[in-house]
Amino acid sequence: MNREVRFFQAINEAIDLCMEKDPSVYIMGLGVPDPSGVFGTTLGLQKKYGSVRVMDMPLSENGMTGVAIGSALVGMRPIMTHQRGDFALLAMEQIVNQAANWYYMFGGQKSIPLVIRMVIGRGWGQGTQHSQSFQAWFAHVPGLKVVMPTTPYDAKGLLIASIEDNNPVIFIEHRWLHNITGHVPEGTYRTPLGQARVAREGTDVTIAATSYMTIEALRAAEMLVKDGISAEVVDIRTLKPLDEKLILDSVRKTGRLIAADIGWKMVGFSAEIVARIAEEALNDLKCPPIRVALPDCPTPTTPALANRYYPLAVHIVATARKMLGLSADLPVSPDRTPVPLDVPDMSFTGPF
C-alpha cells in the first residue's frame, strides 16, 4: 500500500516523531511557529509541543547556534532551522569553531547532537543571498556531517537518523524538493547516514548527484534512452561521511562519471567526487570525468539570466552524449513550456 507524501510533510513527520519519542529534542528557527511553518515543515508542531520546545528566535543566528550548542552540552538535542542557507553564514563561527570541534578538542568527552536544517532557494528572483548552498564548505570541516536528501522517503529517514546522530549534522533541503511526492512509510524508520543509493541502474555512464540535481539526473537518464545510452544515477544522500564504495563500484561498472551538484563548480562538492575517482579508479575510466554544477558567478535574479544559470537535465544529456561520441548540441531547448524555468512546477506562484 503506497503512502504518497510530500517532501515537506515527510520532514514534518520526522520532527514530530522524534519530538514525541524523545523529550530532549526541540526545534528553533526564525518563523518556526509561524502560520506558514517554514514551507509547511513545522506546521502544527508548536500547538502539539508548546513554545518551549518549538521556539521562534531572535535574529541572532550566531548567538542562537551557540545557545543550541550549550543546551546540547547539558543533554538537549536541538534542531535549528534556517529558511535560507545564506542566513547560516552568520553562524559560521559557532558551527565551525565550536560545534564541529567540541568533541575532538576536549579529547572525546562530549559531542554536540545538533541538526542544522538549511533551505536552499532557487527561482522567482531569489538572487545570490537567498539561494546559495554551502555543502562544500561544511563537508570540508572535520567534525560535521552533511546530508542532502532527494526523495521524501529519504527526507524523513535521513532527518530521523540525523536527529538521532550524536554529532552536528548539516541537513540541506532544496526548496524545489519540498513539494515533490513520494512513497513515505508511516511511523519511524531511518535512512542510515553514510549510504548513497542507486536511484536508477545503468551501464554506460554514472551520474553521481546531490539533492535537486538528482531529479535533473533522472530526467536526463530518461531522455538518454532515446540515444541508446543507459545512465546509472547515484543519489549521494550523505556527503559526509561519503559512501565512496558505492560510487566507485558504479564508476568501475560504467567507466564514465558525471558529478552533478547544486553548488558552484569551483572547489564544489563535485570536485571531491572527481578527485576520489581520479585517485582510486583512474584506470577504469573510459573518458575524463565531468562536473555539472553552477557557473562561478553569483545568482542573477531576472529570469532571463537565472534560467540560463542553472544546469538542467538537457545539459547532463549533452555531456553524456559527448562522452559517448555523439553530438553535444542541446537535444531540445532548455525552455520547458508551459512551466517557466524559474519555478519548480505550476503550483508555485511566488513569492518565497
Partner 1 sequence: MESEALKRLYCVMFQIRMIEEKIAELYSEQEMRCPVHLSIGQEAVAAGVCANLSRDDYVLSTHRSHGHYLAKGGNLKAMMAEFYGKVTGCSKGKGGSMHLVDFSVGFLGATPVVGSTIPIAVGVAMGTVMRGGQQVTVVFFGDAAVEEGVFHESVNFAMLKKLPVVFVCENNFYSVYSHISIRQPKDREIFELSKGHGIESYQGDGNDAIQVYNLAERAICKARQGGGPTFLEFKTYRWREHCGPNYDNQLGYRTENEFQAWRQRCPIERLEKHLLKEGILCNQDIDRMVSRLKAEVEDAVVFAKVSPFPEEHLILEHIFAP
Q: What positions carry a catalytic annotation?
A: 61, 130
Phi and psi at residue 206, in whole multiples of 5°? -95, 125
Query: Are 316 and 330 a contacting pair, CB within 8 Å?
Result: no
Q: Which of 2, 35, 107, 350 binds partner 1 (CB under 8 A)?
A: 107
State the minimum distance, in angstroms, from the CB of residue 85 to partner 1: 20
User: Counting contacts by CB under 8 A, is residue 257 touching partner 1?
Assistant: no
Sheet with 197-200, strands from edge to edge, namely 197-200, 231-235, 205-209, 257-264, 290-294
Q: Which of 93, 186, 201, 296 binds partner 1 (CB under 8 A)?
A: 93
User: Counting contacts by CB under 8 A, is residue 67 touching partner 1?
Assistant: yes
Q: Total residues contacting partner 1 (rule CB under 8 A)?
A: 42
Choose one: 71-79, 209-217, 245-253, 287-295; the region binding partner 1 (CB under 8 A). 71-79
Residues between 13 and 52 with contacts to partner 1, criterion CB under 8 A: 24, 26, 52
State the minimum distance, in angstroms, from the CB of residue 205 to partner 1: 33
**By CB neighbour count within 10 A (0-12 exposed, 13-18 middle, 19+ buried), where does 347 fall?**
exposed
d(CA 218, CA 213): 8
User: Counting contacts by CB under 8 A, is residue 102 touching partner 1?
Assistant: yes
User: Counting contacts by CB under 8 A, is residue 83 touching partner 1?
Assistant: no
Cα-to-chain-centroid distance, residue 13: 18
Which amino acid would we find at residue 107?
A: G
Cα-to-chain-centroid distance, residue 120: 8
d(CA 96, CA 92): 6
User: Counting contacts by CB under 8 A, is residue 145 touching partner 1?
Assistant: yes
Q: Which residues bind partner 1 (CB under 8 A)?
A: 24, 26, 52-53, 57-58, 60, 62-76, 93-94, 97-98, 102-111, 142-143, 145, 166-167, 241
